């Protein structure tokens, strides 16, 4: 694979603003790989990364953490499993250290020394990106790069949340928020055998929710989601993909005894949860953080097995600023993916 001396990247020129620039192509250090990016998904978390970026970084940060591409160069000491030209991905977690307490326990997603791609290290709004080899995910041939990219964040976040829900086939599982994360959660929940209730705002998403796997759609502008779920016996699990603390706190009242509220939307406002409901119903509130590279690979295989695919629109890298404005305005119905054709590099 030919590596040019420079590459194009979209960096945060100042908080909230993106610019297309040319940068010197880096050389991977020990334990690192250089990836020629083919696709990078755009996530709601990118908005926080871009709007709240540190102004004094030099060079400015490159956002994006749903990255798929091919290995262009290997640093010293990289594991033999990785080869030049191999198609790989990397998500929000930038690769574990293998030495901290959490890593020694095998809890790689909780590593205390890993970077957060697109936030504390450069991400995938670029033709090239450096990555720790410990964060790499092997991408199956049957998935396009554009399809695989959102699975590395929206997919693994919702899949692992459902796995941690303690729900069994036939149980009622509610998905709060039917956009970027929620549209993947609906597909996985249906394929796992749950009775799937989608909860959103507005009737425009109802048909999509049903097509994605929901047995029932609750429009909060028209019905009381809590009372409806209670009439169904309560939800065994509620996966909250949005960060609105009031909405999440209200829906907690719809949990059945032993039910679990799983938080994915990392909002700053505190939840208001009545302690009595936690105690008398032995209910749980837990958080769930994406997943390890091994879990991502397992999910990619599962997605192929059950034909669960992200829905997205694409824009080329050079239009990243336009794509970002669409993301901020909530224009993409589900997901946005930036594309970088090989001939552009």
Residue with tokens 């198609």: 87
pLDDT band at 53 (very low <50, low <70, confident <90, very high): confident
What's the token pair of residue 326? 């669409």
Count CA atoms closer than 13 A to 266's CA, side-chain side. Answer: 10
What are the beta bridge partners of residue 165?
none
**Is the model's pLDDT at 11 over the cut of 60?**
yes
**Exposure pattern of 185-223 as b/e (b: 16+ CB <10 Å)?**
bbbbbbbbebbbbbbbeeeebbebbeebbbbbbbbbeee
Q: What is the pLDDT of residue 269?
A: 87
The average confidence (pLDDT) of the chain is 95
Higher-scoring residue by pLDDT: 342, 107: 107
Q: What is the pLDDT of residue 42?
A: 97
pLDDT band at 6 (very low <50, low <70, confident <90, very high): very high
**Is the model's pLDDT at 345 over the cut of 70?**
no
Q: What is the pLDDT of residue 253?
A: 96
**With pLDDT > 90 as the criterion, what percentage of the chain qualifies?**
90
pLDDT band at 343 (very low <50, low <70, confident <90, very high): low
pLDDT band at 254 (very low <50, low <70, confident <90, very high): very high
**Is the model's pLDDT at 48 over the cut of 70?**
yes
Q: What residue ranges of the chain are covered by domains with CATH 3.90.180.10?
A: 6-152+291-344
pTM, 2 dp: 0.93
Looking at the structure, give the CATH architecture of the domain made up of residues 6-152+291-344.
Answer: Alpha-Beta Complex (3.90)
* Helix locations, 164-292, DSSP H: 182-191, 206-212, 225-231, 245-251, 275-280
Residue with tokens 């010293």: 76
pLDDT band at 110 (very low <50, low <70, confident <90, very high): very high
Q: For the residues 298-327, what does the mean pLDDT come to? A: 97
**Is the model's pLDDT at 342 over the cut of 80?**
no
Q: What is the pLDDT of residue 344?
A: 58
Instruction: Report the 10 Å Cβ neighbour count for 277.
Output: 15
Q: What is the pLDDT of residue 56?
A: 73
Q: What residue ranges of the chain are covered by domains with CATH 3.40.50.720?
A: 165-287
Distance CA(176)–CA(82), nearest Å, equals 38
What's the token pair of residue 165? 């829900």
Alpha-carbon distances, residue 65 vs 3, 135, 245, 296, 302 (angstroms) = 22, 12, 25, 14, 21
Q: For the residues 191-212, what does the mean pLDDT come to? A: 95
Q: What is the pLDDT of residue 103?
A: 96
**For 124-152, how does the pLDDT look when each residue is reduced to its tens digit (9 = 90+)?**
999 999 999 999 999 999 999 999 999 99
Pick the CATH number of 165-287 from 3.10.20.600, 3.40.50.720, 3.30.750.24, 2.60.40.1840: 3.40.50.720
Q: For the residues 284-292, what does the mean pLDDT come to? A: 94
């Amino acid at each position: 694979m030919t590596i040019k001396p420079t590459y194009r990247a979209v960096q945060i020129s100042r908080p909230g603003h993106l610019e297309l620039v040319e940068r010197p192509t880096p050389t991977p250090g020990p334990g690192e790989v250089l990836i020629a990016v083919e696709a990078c998904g755009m996530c709601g978390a990118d908005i926080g990364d871009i709007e709240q970026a540190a102004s004094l970084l030099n060079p400015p940060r490159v956002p994006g953490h749903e990255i798929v591409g091919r290995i262009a160069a290997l640093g010293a000491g990289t594991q033999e499993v990785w080869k030049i030209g191999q198609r790989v991905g990397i998500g929000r977690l930038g690769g574990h250290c293998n030495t901290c307490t959490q890593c020694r326990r095998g809890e790689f997603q909780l590593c205390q020394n890993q970077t957060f791609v697109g936030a504390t290290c450069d991400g995938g709004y670029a033709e090239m990106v450096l990555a720790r080899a410990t964060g790499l995910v092997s991408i199956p041939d049957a998935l396009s790069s554009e399809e695989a990219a959102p699975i590395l964040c929206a997919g693994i976040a919702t899949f692992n949340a459902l796995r941690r829900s303690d729900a069994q086939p036939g149980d009622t599982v509610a998905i709060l928020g039917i956009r970027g994360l929620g549209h993947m959660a609906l597909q996985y929940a249906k394929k796992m055998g749950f009775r799937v209730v989608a909860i959103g705002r507005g009737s425009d998403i109802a048909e999509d929710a049903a097509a994605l796997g929901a047995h029932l759609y609750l429009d909060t502008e028209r019905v009381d989601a809590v009372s409806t779920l209670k009439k169904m016996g309560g939800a065994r699990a509620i996966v909250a993909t949005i960060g609105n603390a009031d909405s999440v706190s209200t829906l907690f009242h719809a949990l059945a005894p032993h039910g679990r509220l799983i938080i994915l939307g990392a909002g700053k406002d505190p939840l208001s949860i009545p302690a009595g409901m936690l105690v008398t119903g032995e209910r749980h509130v837990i958080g769930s953080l994406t997943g390890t590279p091994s879990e991502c690979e397992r999910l990619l295989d599962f997605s192929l097995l059950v034909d669960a695919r992200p829905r997205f629109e694409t824009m080329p890298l050079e239009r990243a600023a336009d794509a970002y404005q669409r993301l901020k305005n909530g224009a993409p119905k589900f997901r946005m993916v930036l594309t970088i054709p090989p001939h552009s590099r």
